[in-house]
Amino acid sequence: MDQRPPGVCRRGTDTGDNPPAGLFILFLSFRISHYEFFITHGECRVIVRRCRQENITLIGGIILAVSACMLFGLLSYYSTLLPPMDAYAIWGWRVLATVLVVALVISVQRGWKLFAAEMAELWRVPASLGAAVFGGLMMGFQLGLFGWAPLHGVSQQVAMGYFLMPLVMVLAGRVLYGETLSPVRRLAVACAAIGVSAELIRSGGFSWVSLVIMLGMPLYFIAKAKLVTTPLSILMFEQLVVLPPALFILQQQNWNPEYFAAAGPQAWLMILGLGLISGGSLLFYIAASKKLPFALFGMLGYVEPLLIFLVSLVLGEAFTTADLWTYIPIWAAILLLILDGWLHLKKTGSAQVVADIN
């Protein structure tokens, strides 16, 4: 009985003591990671027996994106724990703490040579350098809004900007990158559009805060789409771009002695926590943007405004039943994205890719 594994081509019959030319004279089977190789005389066939690498990348990107949104939501609340600092001081300390935390991570990973090499490559290409500088300035401004909004009672305006941003990113993905949406994702976009439209009708429009977020963040990711730097290196560069104004603000406020007097021994721990949350959220965000299609990455952004909205409720901002016309469709959109991901994995998880190498 022939014991060869399925998938190995047979070139004739190997009966008799003297097999004719063209029959297999060598057979070796072995496994490496997710692949099983059958090596024969004159032919190699590779059979992929588990989910494709794209699925692994997709799942990793989704986890990173959701984790970033959760940390951003936490950061919105964390800013309220740092009085008597004002929003500008919180932003300054956040940038400084993030630089120190990221520098520590690079040191632990012994990644300064890689960082220097990637920065040298940026300097050689003016367009890449300009995109990286623009990204640093835009992200720095967005971070400032995060600290400023909850202290001035406009967290819901920030949330509105993040409700609109995914729709802009879906449009950009379609127009700029030719991305297509599955039927379930199109239904998710429709639900999100209904929710956003209800909010716009109810509020009579959107503020400058919402406008900056809905247009600024897509421009941020479009500008960085072709940068080949690693997430950790680009995060460090972006924070260094805004470090000088951050230090200037802190120096003008005399490094906030009132805060340190009020917070006591835990003051530096709170600032360290600010850097950890900020650095982690930004690192996850940048890494996710490199793993996910533009439209899907944008749609996953709906997790963030929901969390910011919950923070606004914790902080005592008003909520009415009219808000349900906005949030129920948004929640439906997120559930549809979860369903779409499950259907995608179900469809491709058991697929087998066969490549013949002659």
Backbone angles phi, psi at 209, to 5 degrees: -60, -50
SS3 41: coil
pLDDT tens string 189-240:
999 899 888 878 877 777 888 888 889 989 998 888 878 889 999 999 999 9
Pairing label, strands 353-357, 27-32: unpaired
Residue 112 pLDDT greater than 90, yes or no = yes
pLDDT tens string 302-311:
887 777 777 7
Entry pTM: 0.73
Confidence of residue 120 (pLDDT cuts 50, 70, 90): very high
Amino acid making up residue 9: C
Residue 36 pLDDT greater than 50, yes or no = no
User: Could you give the CA distance from residue 147 to residue 78 in angstroms, rounded to a whole number?
Assistant: 9
Whether omega before 245 lies within 30 degrees of 0, making that bond cis, reads no
What sections of 204-320 are H helices per DSSP?
208-224, 231-252, 257-263, 267-291, 294-300, 303-314
Give the model's pLDDT for residue 348: 65
Residue 14 pLDDT greater than 70, yes or no = no
Give the model's pLDDT for residue 42: 44
User: Could you give the CA distance from residue 65 to residue 287 in angstroms, rounded to a whole number?
Assistant: 8
Q: How far is CA 192 from CA 24, 174, 189, 338, in A?
A: 59, 17, 5, 14
- Dihedral angle sign, alpha carbons of residues 258, 263, 266, 272: negative
DSSP labels, 52-100: -HHHHHHHHHHHHHHHHHHHHHHHHHHGGGSTT--HHHHHHHHHHHHHH
User: Could you give the CA distance from residue 280 to residue 267 in angstroms, rounded to a whole number?
Assistant: 20
